[in-house]
């Protein structure tokens, strides 16, 4: 897993989904996606982006605000979201319980990629707006 210690909430994504990690200023694709935007502004934190493979070979970038770490996670520490929340948060598949009992959100890349693709599609079809 690649873990991001974002002050707004820790999150993680499977390392196998991450193509590379870049300083945000070096990313030249579509604007990076801030998965935790609804939890508060990024502020002036130094940022990097995690680059994932999107649909049709297009790459997408996730804002990584906070320290990064790569590490193994025991599958027993990955707890799927309860059904009452799963529909409200499709981009989060589970929580990860750390040894100190702190929690992280496990991001579901396919849901992020899917929502990213739909946003791009809207931009490409102005007649629908």
Partner 1 sequence: MRSFVPITIDSTWVAVDMATVREIGGPLTWIALPTATAALPGVAAWRGRAIAVADLAAVLGAGDRLSPPTGRVRTLYLQQGASTLAVPVDAVREPLTIADSDIRPPRARTESFCTGEVDVEGHTTLVVDLGAIVDSQRAVVAGGLH
Residue 14 and residue 52: Cα distance in Å, rounded?
10
What is the helix (H) or strand (E) element at residue 47, kind and residue range? Answer: strand 47-53
Output the six-digit token pair for 2.
């690649």
88 near partner 1 (CB under 8 A): yes
Question: What is the pattern of x (binds partner 1, CB under 8 A) and - over residues 34-53?
Answer: -xxxxx--------------
Helix, strand, or coil (residue 25): helix
Q: Which is nearer to partner 1, 19 or 39 (CB)?
A: 39
Strand order in the sheet with 47-53: 18-23, 47-53, 59-65
- The answer to whether 62 contacts partner 1 (rule: CB under 8 A) is no
Q: Which stretch binds partner 1 (CB under 8 A): 19-27, 49-57, 60-68, 74-82?
A: 74-82
Q: List residues near partner 1 by CB under 8 A.
A: 8-10, 35-39, 76, 79-85, 87-89, 91-92, 94-95, 97, 101-105
């Amino acid at each position: 897993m690649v873990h991001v210690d974002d002050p707004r909430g820790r999150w993680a994504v499977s390392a196998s989904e991450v193509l590379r990690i870049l300083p945000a200023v070096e990313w030249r694709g579509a604007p990076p996606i801030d998965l935790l935007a609804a939890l508060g502004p990024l502020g002036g934190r130094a940022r990097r982006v995690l680059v994932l493979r999107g649909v049709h070979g297009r790459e997408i970038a996730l804002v990584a605000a906070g320290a990064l770490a790569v590490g193994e996670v025991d599958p027993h520490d990955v707890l799927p979201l309860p059904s009452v929340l799963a529909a409200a948060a499709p981009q989060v598949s589970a929580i990860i319980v750390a040894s100190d009992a702190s929690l992280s959100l496990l991001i579901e890349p396919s849901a992020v990629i899917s929502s990213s693709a739909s946003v791009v599609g809207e931009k490409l079809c102005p007649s629908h707006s």
